[in-house]
Structure 1
Amino acid sequence: MAFKLTGEDACKKPLPTPIPNPYWVAFSAASARLIDLSLGRDNLPSDPTWLEVLAGNNPINHSEIFPNPISTAYSGHQFGVWAGQLGDGRAILLGEMAGQELQLKGAGKTRFSRMGDGRAVLRSSIREFLCSEAMYALGIPTTRALSIVGSDLPVRRESVETAAVCARLAPSFIRIGHFEHFASLQNTPRLKELADLLINEHYPECKQSQNNYLDLFTRICERNATLAAQWQSVGFCHGVLNSDNISVLGLTMDYGPFGFMDQFQIDHICNHSDQGGRYAYHRQPQVMHWNMACLASAMMPLIELTADVDEAEKLLRSALEQFPLIYAKTWQSLFRKKLGLASSLDRDMDLIERLLQAMHESRIDFTNFFRKLSDVKAGATVDQIPLRDNFINRPAIDQWFSDYLIRLNEESSDDLHRKQRMDEVNPKYILRNHLAQVAIDKAKEKDFSEVATLLRVLEKPFEEQPQYESYSYPPPADLSRIEVSCSS
């Protein structure tokens, strides 16, 4: 198991709390292949006891498969404020299979639940399950979702809902908060043990570095800078980018009040609990950078093992300054690809920024615009482009399309090859909130067919799938303002 730290300051050994009469809500065959889990014809585990295991109902602490389930302690900053010790309040790590950690979310109280009940609800479990697999299909690093097991057990949130347990997979669930935890306790031996574990199992290239802990920090920054750029490129908002929700492997994790934008809004807030807009779309890169600064502070004692305080600060500051450079380079590359530009010119940034500003002002559907942009022919005239009709400021967008056509004609590839390239990076299908809500509403009536259908669609986001064309449509007016919160 990747998280091998032991002791009172590292982890506790909880026993999952059984749920009555569990039943399958959803299952990902693709994720099951990651752990070599044998499936039957119905794409469910061929061994029926897995329903009980993934519900948290087996006496797992006596199981030969998962003898030592744990929940881990971590600390962190929440909405920019130090929150002290947190920990896996509703997550129980069962163990490792085929290099993947298997974790149950919602399987009952742990030592770190504080005032919580340790449960997850059907609504939030469906959203996390679908988005985890959707993000993977989009090519964005993420934890994976294996299953949802439901129960009629009542759970109180903003209203009374029913319980569900979501099984998650990742090479490791270690987060920035784990480093912050040991740093806050001034427990440098444990901090070093954690960093060494991470290097040995996930960053072996750091072993060859002259300063392996600084190199580890640098590589974590690189991964998360790239991740933030990838989120921006598909219009994804995480919702709660607290430092304890940030993976040190650069994975999207802890899906709560997330959302893919429908109408593009630069300052879009997907979490109605975020009244100050700290985690709005346009602030995600800045906040991720801030979280890397939290990690730098936590790793400071490790850098001081081979350098004095001033030198350690200088080294970490220099490494941290690379974050915005890596982010900007990745972001520019991704948006050039979205526009179908194979070459790179300095004026491309002006073209991209003007387009996003125009989309913001006219609230253009982010996903559909870029998908349909591949239909524009380099030899077209501006008045032959239907997309312009959706913009309020016609003179401005006409000028933009005029400049875009000039830019396309500077490229060497033909329209067909450019369209193929664009359709490989501009998805047709994303997990829109209204689609998730339809699936949730049906699931509440014990109809899980829409969850399965959405999974099939989202597993192939770049394909046309004509039978599911309606799943690419923007939300109807009555479903365009679905709100999610930290309980989602």
Structure 2
Amino acid sequence: MAITDTISVASSDMGWNFDNSYARLPNSLYTLIDPVPVREPRLAVLNRALCESLGLDAGALDSDAGAAIFSGNMLPEGAQPLAQAYAGHQFGSFTMLGDGRAILLGEQITPQRERFDIQLKGSGRTPFSRSGDGRAALGPMLREYIISEAMHGLGIPTTRSLAVVVTGEPVQRETSLQGAILTRVAASHIRVGTFEYLSTRGDLEGLQALADHVLDRHFPALKEDANPYLGLFHTVMQRQASLVAKWLHVGFIHGVMNTDNMSICGDTIDYGPCAFMDAYDPATVFSSIDQGGRYAYGNQPHMAQWNLARFGETLLPLLHKDTHKAVELVQEAIQTFPELFRRAWLSGMQAKLGLFTQEPDDLSLVKDLLTGMQEGRADYTNTLRALASAAMQRAPALQIPALTEWLSRWQARLTRQPQDLDAARSVMRAHNPALIPRNHIVEEVLEKATRHGDYAPLKRLLAALSSPYEERPEDAPYRQPPDPSAQPYQTFCGT
């Protein structure tokens, strides 16, 4: 029996409200396909707050029926499952790709009339799986849940995690691991690589349909522009400049900034070998597959611009009928990215330093702080958080020789603005998190969940990360950096 024959009438009582605009695009962009059933689905974690914001009944979904839906064994009413086609430059090399282990169920319309993709990740083979098994292991799915929800708590645009189910089936990687499926929520899953897929195929009709869909879904105001596709390019650049600046502000390293992992709507997407930096070093790399440091912490702005240039190339036929003129438009636009990023990054760093006004020396003030932190191997998050205390007095966490002169210079800078020190301290606490998902802490809770079935530590960490700018005594263990003797942390692709 096909999965679509097993839909339960009860699923309509859970709040599902689908309208699937992506499925109305040219069928070259996707393949209609059902998830592959699993043996014994069981809910591991459910995001009840996200359920409610989506208009879903968390109580009804926290059940065997919910586990059946989040595993793909049962489809909610109105779902139209499909695997999306896309391409991508992976570490600079172009590859034809697609959802090799993910199924888009459809687009949930919330009570506020917002639209969100509901996607199952790890739901079985698709026509794009190549040699993959289409499945996912429990550890990486729980890790994406933690990191994506932490990013949301930090106020950074991101996909969200709705649920993780254990499938009751093993997946074979280096060893046999528990299988799992993540339910991911996104404003959309359209990527730079989606445009590359059509451009490479020479499908101009499909390219225009996709661009118009993006305008309708994400940027309807741009349709009034004289050249809406140029407006689209500028808007995507602005969003990516802002997003990558926010990554740097909290020490986040995406790890695999391929063009298929750059969302058109400006959300962080695809949490594979990502991690948060402890000691400040712009050359920090965690990914086991990034041997050359292409996507190192400090390289992320440059790689965003490189990816955006690839996006601009796909839009050339839509920008102007004269190819030379279209190329000029993209070149002129892409040259503005460094300044877009610089402004977004500097503005955020000024807020992190409690600066309300602007002075010509602020950029060097910020850079000198980072240089001192690098020389002193200072913890990025804890040092910046300690500045709020240093605005009032000397903080023990800032007794770093390389920062002695800098602290006096910065405190003098604070006196040259009309706002008092209490106001500076307040804005610093609002922009410097007390908590990030520390790599060693994340590994500890994953170990307990995956090896011992103990999800309580994971849920406590998630609760703390939902309010990362608050400083609670009970969260003190989460603020501790790894032991200096610990081995260098390394992340791996979940496939």
- Report the TM-score when normalising by structure 2: 0.92
SS across alignment from 1:474: coil
Cα drift, residue 87 of structure 1: 0.4
- CA distance in 2 between counterparts of 1:400 and 1:115 reads 54
Q: How does 1:348-367 map to 2 (within 5 A)?
A: 348-367=362-381
- CA distance in 2 between counterparts of 1:38 and 1:64 reads 14
- CA distance in 1 between counterparts of 2:43 and 2:66 reads 10
| 1:386 aligned residue (389, 396, 421) | 396
| 1:447 aligned residue (450, 454, 465) | 454
RMSD: 1.5
Q: How does 1:24-423 map to 2 (within 5 A)?
A: 24-40=43-59, 45=61, 48-58=64-74, 60=75, 64-66=77-79, 68-83=80-95, 85-98=96-109, 99-304=115-320, 307-377=321-391, 380=393, 384-389=394-399, 391=400, 394=401, 396-423=402-429
Are the aligned partners of 2:25 and 2:210 in contact in 1 as well (CA < 8 Å)?
no
- CA distance in 2 between counterparts of 1:119 and 1:268 reads 30
* Alignment-mate amino acid for residue 96 of structure 1: E
- CA distance in 1 between counterparts of 2:29 and 2:66 reads 28
SS across alignment from 1:272: coil
- CA distance in 2 between counterparts of 1:121 and 1:485 reads 12
* Alignment-mate amino acid for residue 81 of structure 1: S
| 1:14 aligned residue (1, 23, 33) | 33
Are the aligned partners of 1:146 and 1:167 in contact in 2 as well (CA < 8 Å)?
yes
* Alignment-mate amino acid for residue 76 of structure 1: G
Are the aligned partners of 1:238 and 1:255 in contact in 2 as well (CA < 8 Å)?
yes
* Alignment-mate amino acid for residue 89 of structure 1: G
Are the aligned partners of 1:3 and 1:174 in contact in 2 as well (CA < 8 Å)?
no
Distance change in 2, residues 1:478/1:34 (3 Å): farther
Asked if 1:473 corresponds to 2:480, the answer is yes
- CA distance in 2 between counterparts of 1:388 and 1:429 reads 17
TM-superposition CA deviations, 1:28-83 (whole Å, max 9, x none): 1222123211123xxx725641210001111x3xx5331x2000110110001112
Cα drift, residue 480 of structure 1: 5.5
SS across alignment from 1:375: helix
Are the aligned partners of 1:2 and 1:172 in contact in 2 as well (CA < 8 Å)?
no
- CA distance in 1 between counterparts of 2:167 and 2:65 reads 16
Distance change in 2, residues 1:237/1:289 (3 Å): same
- CA distance in 2 between counterparts of 1:237 and 1:412 reads 36
Are the aligned partners of 1:152 and 1:162 in contact in 2 as well (CA < 8 Å)?
yes
Are the aligned partners of 1:5 and 1:11 in contact in 2 as well (CA < 8 Å)?
no
- CA distance in 2 between counterparts of 1:2 and 1:482 reads 41
- CA distance in 2 between counterparts of 1:442 and 1:8 reads 43
Are the aligned partners of 2:346 and 2:363 in contact in 1 as well (CA < 8 Å)?
yes
- CA distance in 1 between counterparts of 2:331 and 2:46 reads 44
Are the aligned partners of 2:150 and 2:462 in contact in 1 as well (CA < 8 Å)?
yes
Are the aligned partners of 2:101 and 2:134 in contact in 1 as well (CA < 8 Å)?
yes
Are the aligned partners of 1:93 and 1:103 in contact in 2 as well (CA < 8 Å)?
yes
TM-superposition CA deviations, 1:162-182 (whole Å, max 9, x none): 111000111211001110000
- CA distance in 2 between counterparts of 1:479 and 1:364 reads 16
TM-superposition CA deviations, 1:322-355 (whole Å, max 9, x none): 2111100000000011111111111011111011
TM-superposition CA deviations, 1:426-471 (whole Å, max 9, x none): 0011111111111111112111112211110110000112222211
* Alignment-mate amino acid for residue 105 of structure 1: K
- CA distance in 1 between counterparts of 2:269 and 2:335 reads 24
- CA distance in 2 between counterparts of 1:46 and 1:116 reads 30
5+ residue gaps in structure 1? none
* Alignment-mate amino acid for residue 65 of structure 1: G
* Alignment-mate amino acid for residue 331 of structure 2: R
Are the aligned partners of 2:286 and 2:489 in contact in 1 as well (CA < 8 Å)?
no
- CA distance in 2 between counterparts of 1:33 and 1:323 reads 37
**Aligned positions, number:** 470
Are the aligned partners of 2:193 and 2:259 in contact in 1 as well (CA < 8 Å)?
yes
Tell me which residue corresponds to 2:4. none
Tell me which residue corresponds to 1:460. 467
Q: Please list every run of at least 4 consecutive aligned residues from structure 1 whose deviation after the TM superposition is greater than 6 angstroms.
A: none
- CA distance in 1 between counterparts of 2:326 and 2:217 reads 25
TM-superposition CA deviations, 1:86-144 (whole Å, max 9, x none): 00111100011121110000011111111101111111111110111111111110011
* Alignment-mate amino acid for residue 255 of structure 2: G
Worse-matched range after superposition: 181-190 or 264-273 = 264-273
Tell me which residue corresponds to 2:10. none
- CA distance in 2 between counterparts of 1:358 and 1:17 reads 53
5+ residue gaps in structure 2? 1-19, 110-114
- CA distance in 2 between counterparts of 1:487 and 1:97 reads 27
